Amino acid sequence: MSTRIYITSAEGHTGKSTIALGVLDTLGHEVGRVGVFRPVARSTDERDYVLELLLAHDSVDLAYDECVGVTYDDVHRDPDAALATIVSRFAAVERQCDAVVVIGSDYTDVGSPTELSFNARVAANLGAPVLLVLGGRTADGTAARTGIDMRQVAEVTTAELRSEHASLLAVVANRVDPERLDEVVGGIGSALETAPGGRVPVWALPEDRLLVAPTVRAVLAATGATLVRGDDALLDREAVGVVVAAMSMENVLPRLTEGAVVVVPGDRSDVLVATVLAHASETFPSLAGIVLNGGFDLAPQVDLLLEGLGSSLPVARNELGTYDTALAITQTRGRLAADSPRKYDLALALFERHVDAAELLRLLQVSPSGVVTPLMFEYQLLERARGAAKHIVLPEGDDDRILRAASSLLQRNVAKLTLLGDETAIRARGAELGLDLAEARVLDPFDPSLQVQFATEYARLRAHKGISAAMAMDTVTDVSYFGTMMVKLGLADGMVSGAAHTTAHTIRPAFEVIKTLPDVGVVSSVFLMALADRVLVYGDCAVIPDPTAEQLADIAISSAQTAEQFGIEPRVAMLSYSTGDSGSGADVEKVRAATALVRERRPDLLVEGPIQYDAAADPTVAAAKMPDSDVAGRATVFIFPDLNTGNNTYKAVQRSAGAVAIGPILQGLRKPINDLSRGALVSDIVNTVAITAIQAGTPAAEARVTADPAVAALPAPVTTASTPAPAEGNTP
């Protein structure tokens, strides 16, 4: 039988979807196959957005239709028949899963006053313990509940659960006044102390304005408005307030608030222009959008003026009056949806901070799976990076993907970040995109004091190459050099770049100033290949076109060390078109020589070569070709003989087997610098930053951090160390 949990609430608008997402994410990190089931659909006319949100999670692989039980009409027509259908359809989902998250109904059916009782009855018949979600605000959302209020709600709702023989697992209070978290937990706890069955865990999540705020897109839909100017991508920003600007310009400006939608009469061009200018100004808040009401068209000369200002602020128009427009906006509720990355990350961050996931898993009696799915591995990366608490510099602060990734990383507390670029422009763009970059540090590569400090050090390091102080002053303003110098001098623990720059542009500075480890001759790379049930290491797939035997040995040893960094037991396969002594030729001999070098330098490593891929990966083939090998059929680290083979193989496995390719991860440098693909997705950037933080946080890496005298003169260093540096390694 799979692990089951039934998430229900006692009323509508409790933010139950936030809790469901957090539970689903928690289970997805521990078990291989997680399912979602909705016993009663919220609507027959449109797809359930909560169910779609959960089905979009990476751990779920189910079709929408198979995850729905019945409709409200079915329940009204014949509750017993509806319950039988729910149980039957749930069983079909459960057969495919290791755990199932069941999401109770949403109180959209005003004709059903006993909705909680029916949810409790369903939970009891499914044998699923209930995670009860209580709202921290009154049903109309106008007031925060006190601890006494929450005690009363808990007493009534838990009694109703007991009357239907549902088992209470835990209680989560959501959307609670941040100042009353302890008070609310205490109030609910006191209600449960005397309840039959004993006390259960109680957790409380604070209300966050962004989670309940509608997007600008939703506001336009609610008011019947059409976009006439601005960036369509910015319609996904949350509107956290409304300002009615039916007054003169000097009276409007003081009333503007951060993230607000401004309602402007369509014939008040002066107010429109002033509002757009205020949004662009550093002295006024960043706005979410403008709605021009009244059905007026923009005058051509005003449209031309706005075109010249180059503002991306969304401006829309509708046919409604001022009052009706403002009313429609205030009545628009926010939704937690899969297409809102910021809300998605914020919901998970709130759950992680305020719910004891380990205790929840213990209550559900979830045993860790022996399988490691891509989602599990990515979660482990984030967890280990969070524990490392490192500081990473992102030189490409003018790239929207970098900003989105930075917001996600900061919300999830994965790493400290520095963005390079113009601070005003970066923060303004972040605000436009609805991102939270408040915790990010922003540095200008042309900052005079840093430029002088970095140039002095760079000129010293490259004096043997004829680099003068004047040349160094110009060089270090390049973002890749600037970021690399931050890492070199201890202002950051690692760097991630390449979303908008070539690989050479990203890693050349590292070759010049970071340099390789003393016992490593080359910088190489690996991809972490997350297959359906395990993670493998492929190297080198990105850096060295045709390595010599000595370089191949370096790649193998570095790759084994990288595998260990990420919790993968290294069993190294030195790949060739021949296995053992069955073939000959220059390419085979190169691999054979490299294998001998690895055994000589690292006799503790399990290594086999030359060996073909099938013999390395498949136990059946290994039994026939190399039966006495400790690596054959069990390899975890695959070393390709050249870049052509490695690059094509990783892409073939990625596309054909559906593997998640994480990387390239550079190895061999004294401090971690990692390169992104120029087509990198936000998730790729997040993973690479986490990997870089883990690399910086391993004991061997921390032992290499230099107590450089130049660091003392630099402002606010984040990471310093007093361990003497080993001798400089070789550089390409």
pLDDT: is 331 or 643 the higher one? 643
For position 43, what pLDDT does the model report?
A: 63
Average confidence (pLDDT) over 609-626 = 92
Average confidence (pLDDT) over 169-177 = 93
Q: Pull the structure tokens for residue 556.
A: 């193998």
Instruction: Report the distance separating Cα 478 and Cα 465, nearest Å.
Output: 19
Average confidence (pLDDT) over 4-29 = 89
Q: Nearest 5°: CA angle at 373, between 557 and 97?
A: 160
Contact in structure between 665 and 533 (CB atoms under 8 Å):
no
List, edge to edge, every strand of the sheet that includes 441-443. Answer: 441-443, 416-420, 391-394, 494-497, 673-675
Place of tokens 């949806």: 337
Instruction: Report the distance separating Cα 36 and Cα 586, nearest Å.
Output: 55
Average confidence (pLDDT) over 164-177 = 92
Q: Minimal CA–CA distance to 667: which of 542, 546, 572?
A: 542
Q: Residue 599: helix, strand or coil by DSSP?
A: helix
Q: 730: pLDDT confidence band, cut at 50, 70 and 90?
A: very low
Q: Pull the structure tokens for residue 380.
A: 């482990």
Helical ranges in 540-698 per DSSP H: 549-565, 586-601, 613-617, 619-625, 643-656, 682-697
pLDDT-wise least confident of 105-119, 496-510, 627-641: 105-119
Interval 656-706: pLDDT, tens:
888 888 888 999 889 999 988 888 888 889 999 999 999 998 755 544 444
Asked whether the predicted pLDDT for residue 493 surpasses 80, the reply is yes
Instruction: Report the distance separating Cα 333 and Cα 209, nearest Å.
Output: 11
Encode 487-518 in three state secondary structure. Answer: HHCCCCCEEEECCCCCHHHHHHHHHHHHCECC
Question: Residues of 580-610 as b/e, b for ≥16 C-beta within 10 angstroms?
Answer: beeeeeebbebbbbbbebbeeebeebbbbbb
pLDDT: is 273 or 370 the higher one? 273
For position 710, what pLDDT does the model report?
A: 41
Q: 195: pLDDT confidence band, cut at 50, 70 and 90?
A: low
Q: Pull the structure tokens for residue 175.
A: 């959307």
Instruction: Report the distance separating Cα 262 and Cα 429, nearest Å.
Output: 19
Beta partners for residue 571, in sequence order: 606
pLDDT: is 678 or 626 the higher one? 626
Asked whether the predicted pLDDT for residue 161 surpasses 60, the reply is yes
Contact in structure between 523 and 515 (CB atoms under 8 Å):
no
Place of tokens 């990383």: 409
Domains of the chain: 3-209+340-363 (3.40.50.300), 214-330 (3.40.1390.20), 374-514+708-713 (3.40.50.10950), 524-667 (3.40.50.10750)
Asked whether the predicted pLDDT for residue 135 surpasses 80, the reply is yes
Q: Pull the structure tokens for residue 550.
A: 């000595």
Q: Pull the structure tokens for residue 654.
A: 């990625």
Q: Minimal CA–CA distance to 109: which of 88, 87, 79?
A: 79
pLDDT-wise least confident of 106-110, 219-223, 581-585: 106-110
Q: Residue 387: helix, strand or coil by DSSP?
A: helix
Q: Pull the structure tokens for residue 712.
A: 């003392």
Average confidence (pLDDT) over 429-457 = 90
**Cα dihedral: 534, 539, 543, 545 (round 10):** -130
For position 107, what pLDDT does the model report?
A: 65
Give 459's Cβ-side CA count (13 Å radius): 13
Backbone φ and ψ of 78, nearest 5°: -160, 95
pLDDT-wise least confident of 185-189, 363-367, 418-422: 363-367
Q: Minimal CA–CA distance to 273: which of 242, 229, 239, 235?
A: 229
Average confidence (pLDDT) over 439-463 = 91
Instruction: Report the distance separating Cα 697 and Cα 565, nearest Å.
Output: 9
For position 197, what pLDDT does the model report?
A: 60
User: Which CA distances in Å does 516 have to 368, 510, 522?
Assistant: 38, 9, 7
Instruction: Report the distance separating Cα 398 and Cα 451, nearest Å.
Output: 20
For position 369, what pLDDT does the model report?
A: 62
For position 657, what pLDDT does the model report?
A: 84
DSSP letters spanning 202-225: EEEEE--HHHHSPBHHHHHHHHT-
Neighbours of 365 (CB within 10 A): 7
Mean residue pLDDT of the chain comes to 86
Asked whether the predicted pLDDT for residue 621 surpasses 90, the reply is yes
Helix (H) or strand (E) holding 449: helix 448-461
Contact in structure between 678 and 499 (CB atoms under 8 Å):
yes
User: Which CA distances in Å does 538 have to 167, 182, 227, 519, 559?
Assistant: 48, 49, 48, 21, 8
Torsion sign, CA atoms 145, 147, 153, 154? positive
Q: Pull the structure tokens for residue 150.
A: 């929450």
Q: Pull the structure tokens for residue 78.
A: 């014949």
pLDDT-wise least confident of 205-214, 373-382, 392-401: 373-382
pLDDT: is 285 or 212 the higher one? 285
Specify whether the backbone of 466 is left (phi greater than 0), alpha (psi in -120 to 50) or beta: left
What are the DSSP E strand ranges found in 230-371?
Answer: 241-244, 260-265, 289-293, 315-317
Helix (H) or strand (E) holding 153: helix 147-163
Helix (H) or strand (E) holding 89: helix 79-94
Asked whether the predicted pLDDT for residue 108 surpasses 70, the reply is no
Instruction: Report the distance separating Cα 412 and Cα 473, nearest Å.
Output: 37
